[in-house]
Amino acid sequence: MLNLSGKNALVTGIANNRSIAWGIAQQLHAAGANIGVTYLPDDKGRAEKKIAELVEPLQPSLFLPCNVQDEAQLQQTFDAIQDQWGRIDILIHCLAFASKDSLVGDFSSVSRQDFTLAMEVSAYSLVSLSRMAKPLMPEGGSILTLSYLGGVRVVPNYNTMGIAKAALEMNVRYLASEFGPQNIRVNAISAGPIRTLASSAIGGILDMIHHVEKFAPLRRTVTQLEVGNAAAFLCSDLASGITGQILYVDAGYETLGATISGEG
């Protein structure tokens, strides 16, 4: 049976109640995990208040600001884990950012700065968080990140994020190889499109969702809680033999080779 009791799980990337990270946090909690949450702080402390209220039902035993572009905040996060938990079992990475300019129009128009920003926040951050988690996983652990099909195939406007997701998926494989001897597993879930804060900022996301509802084998999109269930499985001992994998939780969309109805 799926049981995460006694496991310490740090969840990054909760922005609001539509976040996939929130779906994952709820299902890890439902499976008995002890939850820690990091959030992206803003100047006015609004994010802190909003996310604290949201996650309150999960009774997180850690609640920390963590902007992955800030080395000091990263260090403080793992110092707190060391002090208060002593050990971490599960690390959930649900972080991505690309400038709006780099998510529209011609891919080749991306600036050096926007390309680097997307790579740093969306791909490199898995490396830095994993490196810092490793010494706190002496008896093994599970690291999970979120990807998207746009990292392996061309999706209009996904552009620079697609390159960052391709790098992220290779990070998963290289980290899985390096950390495997310490019984630390590293995997990704490639989720289908879901209406979230990040995706709703994108023009044409509704068209993407209608397209999936029309053509995906299950004829619908997936929910945050379905991604959360797959995450709970991958982070549990039921998945003890799985590492370096990208699991599609996308209502079957990835299997398609043509999106025509075939009905004439």
Is 248 marked active-site?
A: no
**Residues 27, 249: Cα–Cα separation, whole Å:** 15
CB of 110 to ligand 0WE, least distance (A): 13
Sheet holding 90-93, edge to edge: 62-65, 34-39, 8-11, 90-93, 141-147, 184-191, 246-249
Give every CB contact of residue 193 below 8 A, 6+ residues apart in sequence. 148, 199, 205, 208, 209, 212, 221
Say if residues 123 and 171 touch (Cβ distance below 8 Å).
yes
**DSSP category for residue 99:** -
Q: Which CB, 63 or 124, lies closer to ligand 0WE?
A: 124
Instruction: State which residue, 2 or 205, has the beta carbon closest to ligand 0WE.
Output: 205
Q: Which residues bind ligand 0WE (CB under 6 A)?
A: 96-98, 100, 103, 148, 155, 157-158, 161, 193, 198-199, 201-202, 205, 208
In whole angstroms, the minimum distance from the beta carbon of 147 to ligand 0WE comes to: 8
Nearer to ligand 0WE, 80 or 155 (CB): 155
User: Strands, DSSP E only, in 51-160?
Assistant: 62-65, 90-93, 141-147
- Cβ at position 264, least distance to ligand 0WE in Å: 29
Closest contact distance (angstroms) between CB of 172 and ligand 0WE is 15
Which burial class, exposed, middle or buried, applies to 160 when counting CB atoms under 10 A from its CB (0-12, 13-18, 19+)?
buried
Report the run of H or E that residue 187 belongs to, with start and end: strand 184-191
Determine which one of 39, 148, 248, 253 is catalytic: 148
Cβ-contact 131, 172 below 8 angstroms: no
Least distance from ligand 0WE to the Cβ atom of residue 240, Å: 29
Residue 148 bears catalytic tag: yes
DSSP 192: P
Which entry of 158, 174, 248, 253 is annotated as an active-site residue? 158
Catalytic residues: 148, 158
